[in-house]
Amino acid sequence: MTSEFEFIDRMKSRYGLSRIGDDCAVLPKDHLTDTVITADMLVEDIDFRLDWATPEQIGHKALAVSLSDIAAMGGDPKWAMLSIGVSEKLWKTDFLDRFYSGWHALATEFGVKLIGGDVSRTPGHLVIDSVAGGEVAKGRAIPRSGAKAGDLMYVSGELGGAAAGLKLLEQGVADAELIEKQLHVYPQVILGKQLLQLGLLSAMIDLSDGLSSDLMHVCRASAVGAILYTRSIPVDTKIGSHFAAADAFDMALNGGEDFQLLFTTTGPVEMDGVTLIGYITDETGQVYLEEDDGTRTRVVPGGFRHF
Amino acid sequence: MTSEFEFIDRMKSRYGLSRIGDDCAVLPKDHLTDTVITADMLVEDIDFRLDWATPEQIGHKALAVSLSDIAAMGGDPKWAMLSIGVSEKLWKTDFLDRFYSGWHALATEFGVKLIGGDVSRTPGHLVIDSVAGGEVAKGRAIPRSGAKAGDLMYVSGELGGAAAGLKLLEQGVADAELIEKQLHVYPQVILGKQLLQLGLLSAMIDLSDGLSSDLMHVCRASAVGAILYTRSIPVDTKIGSHFAAADAFDMALNGGEDFQLLFTTTGPVEMDGVTLIGYITDETGQVYLEEDDGTRTRVVPGGFRHF
């Protein structure tokens, strides 16, 4: 079956859509500034479950995933639109009031204004399309496509916590901290802007599908490969209380929704909360895990995909 | 039950969302230009049916409704984003290829570039969120809120054809021209830009919900009322082949999805394809139909609403 990534590539080449395929589209604003803009669709029972998350948490996450895309360009979020399709049954409850309350709390934190959207009825599942726009200094947005052989590769935060939280929700196991990582995504907007200021970044992406998949997006867009140091991948230390080390590593490598930033640089970065995890090679689309003894294993992207 | 319009008003006042409630949001771009931006969610079996429309027609309509919103501001459409949630069953067919083909044909006609969006999976119904952006000379976008007592009121084209087409689809009656009006919406972008140039417009809206409902949106946003000349409402002449005159008039007054432009002006407009249908009064929220003999009947908005 065609994957969603293959489908998007086919549409890009058929219709000459050169602007498609980054975390955000970049549009010229004025002579100092570009606009960055992103859309994310969230569907009930695919991207979230009403019995696992409060309406406020779903509202928070709907905006957080879009702000994370803006962070991945080094952008400063400014405004958002929200389209929501809701069943008549849910419409009659306080769901939307609480949803907007969660949405608005995060928007206020980042100074984001709701400027529009749509309300529609659905025959069944709740569906949300979150659109956010931001600004970045002209020509300075960090694309996925700028990584070059020899560049260093870093990731922010710890990985796998959101995937572990999801697993615990599925298993009905309570662990407030890990479940919080799944439900209360924090977009790395401040870090993204700090990284842009360094002037060293060649490529950046947010980790939504999972490290192995998102790194492959960077490699394909940049026509490069990568070496990941197995020992350097910052596996979330809290996962170890519930899962074996091998499972924890798999969650960090392939689990989605950590919404940390993966970036490549032309020189070393000294900053709290970011970890050097490897480097870029010229072998297009080839990603390997490298052990301390130099042994290499090919990585097959194992992150989330819809199709 | 709270209507969608009441809900949006409540959110506006609770969170101070002054920019919400027009066909498009208006954002400053540079010192000469504003950006206008709109989002429309279309849900299978609510807004369209897969057995009544081809995938190309659904793709066309998804973009057309958003271009119509840009037309209603007097704007020039430039770019669009498309988020689509699709079931695995539909994903395996050629639906999306054909959908994008219909979408792209209309986009090409208006010079609109696809810059982003999202592809998601749904457990059931197809859902589309269409976002479009355009440009308008700084401070010149035509809002819903500018109508003043004494302004003249005009509408473009003929009304009721889309509602008649929908009825025929429901009844299984073939009438290519009327069904085309329902399925092949043509956004009035060129007319909207011409109207802006006149420098006479005080308010404008596109007829998506229906004349009675959309006029009420203008009246509420502008804190005015209106008199509609019963005899002047341009009822689509083709409806008469299938429906009684009273039904045809009801379709023109209350039927949705004609996507013509309703606008108010500070002076008379002489232009092909637009009809003077009444004038604005200072009785906030009061809309009346007026007969030739001066008799008046109160109009209760009878157009489409989701809730």
- pLDDT of amino acid A302: 83
Q: Does B3 score more than 90 pLDDT?
A: no
Minimal C-alpha gap between A287 and chain B (Å): 25
Neighbours of B247 (CB within 10 A): 17
Interior/surface letters B254-284, b for 16+ CB within 10 angstroms, e for the rest: bbbbbbbbbbbbeeeeeeeebbebbbbbeee
Q: Which chain B residues contact residue A1 at CB under 8 A?
A: 91-92
pLDDT band for A18, please (50, 70, 90 cuts): confident
Task: Evaluate if residue A90 carries a pLDDT over 80.
Answer: yes
CB pairs under 8 A between A and B: 177
Per-residue pLDDT tens over the stretch A96-139: 999 999 999 999 999 999 999 999 999 989 999 999 999 999 99
Please give the average per-residue pLDDT across B178-201, as a whole number.
Answer: 94
Nearest to A208 by CA among A1, A8, A61: A61
Closest-CA residue of A relative to B45 is A123
User: Which residue out of A1, A32, A73, A121 would a mutagenesis test of the B interface target, given it has the greatest number of B Cβ atoms within 10 Å?
Assistant: A121
Supply the pLDDT for residue B59.
97
Token code pair at residue B93: 């067919």
Q: What is the mean pLDDT of residues B284-301?
A: 96
Round the average pLDDT of chain A to a whole number and report it.
95
What pLDDT does B198 receive? 96
Task: State whether A115 and B19 contact (CB < 8 Å).
Answer: yes
Question: What residues of chain A lie within 8 A of the CB of B91, using their CB?
Answer: 1-2, 307
pLDDT at A281: 98
Would you call B50 an interface residue with chain A, using a CB distance cutoff of 8 Å? no
Name the residue in chain B with its Cα closest to that of A2. Answer: B92
Mind listing the pLDDT tens digit for each residue in B136-156? 999 999 999 999 999 999 999
The count of other CB atoms within 10 Å of the CB of residue B159 is 28
Query: Which amino acid is located at A59 in the chain?
Result: G
State how far the Cα of B155 lies from the Cα of B141, in Å rounded to an integer: 18
Mean pLDDT, chain B, integer: 95
Picking from A31, A114, A121, the nearest residue to B306 by CB comes out as A121
The Cα B161–Cα A112 span in angstroms is: 41
3-state secondary structure B93-132: CCHHHHHHHHHHHHHHHCCCEEEEEEEEECCCCCEEEEEE
Closest-CA residue to B219 (of B283, B154, B305, B303): B283
pLDDT at B303 over 80: no
Quote the pLDDT of residue B23. 94
| Interface residue of B23, B69, B121, B209 to substitute, partner A, most A CBs within 10 Å | B121
- How does pLDDT run across B45-102, given as a tens digit for each residue? 999 999 999 999 999 999 999 999 999 999 999 999 999 999 999 999 999 999 999 9
Q: Residue B174: is its pLDDT beyond 90?
A: no
Average pLDDT of span B188-202: 97
Q: What is the pLDDT of residues A230-263, one digit of tens each?
A: 999 999 999 999 999 999 999 999 999 999 999 9
d(CA B77, CA B67) in angstroms, rounded, equals: 7
The confidence score (pLDDT) of residue B15 equals 87
Does B38 lie at the interface with A, CB-CB under 8 angstroms? yes
Helix boundaries (H) for A52-109: 55-71, 88-91, 95-109
A39 touches chain B (CB under 8 A): yes
The pLDDT value given to residue B175: 86
Q: Indicate which of A24, A97, A120, A208 best probes the interface with B, i.e. most B CBs within 10 Å of its own CB.
A: A120
Q: Is the pLDDT of residue A19 over 80?
A: no
Residue A160 has pLDDT above 80, yes or no: yes
Q: What residues of chain B lie within 8 A of the CB of A119, using their CB?
A: 4, 7-8, 41, 306-307
- Comparing A9-23, B50-64, B197-211, B255-269, the range with the smallest average pLDDT is A9-23
Per-residue confidence (pLDDT) for residue A175, from 0 to 100: 86
Inform me whether the pLDDT recorded for A200 exceeds 80: yes
Q: Does B42 touch chain A (CB under 8 A)?
A: yes
pLDDT band at A2 (very low <50, low <70, confident <90, very high): confident
pLDDT of B1 reads 75
Q: Per-residue pLDDT for B195 more than 80? A: yes
Amino acid at A282: D
Backbone torsions φ then ψ of A302, nearest 5 degrees = -120, 15
